[in-house]
Amino acid sequence: MNALSIPTWIVHISSVLEWLAAMALVWRFAGVINQPQWRWLVWGMLPALVSAFCACVWHFFDNVPSLNWLVTLQAALTAAGNCALCLAGWQIWRAGRLAGS
């Protein structure tokens, strides 16, 4: 667990907690404004959250080479998450345009 300094661990953990909070707030926001298409954004954020967990697990185990597959998984989840967020943004945009027409 000494692969990262204490301040770096604080940044990693607080980033994951922030992401979880953002997901919860967006989910609640969708309910408050009664626009469920915003919940697609939360589903789009999920791969990035799992990607962050991969990074934390890999660092927790001192970046051991036997867990290098986590780095590959993290990269794939980051790419998938970026695509999912793009699609979620498109869904929100499209729903807004349909509501406005």
CA 73 to CA 57: how far, in whole Å? Answer: 12
pTM to 2 decimal places: 0.87
DSSP string spanning 30-61? HHHTT-GGGHHHHHHHHHHHHHHHHHHHHHHT
Residues for the chain: how many in total? 101
pLDDT in tens, 63-99: 999 999 999 999 999 999 999 999 999 999 999 998 8
Whether residue 87 contacts residue 44, with contact meaning beta carbons closer than 8 Å, is answered with yes
Of 85, 24, 86, 75, give the one whose Cα is nearest residue 50: 75
pLDDT in tens, 8-66: 999 999 999 999 999 999 999 999 999 999 999 999 999 999 999 999 999 999 999 99
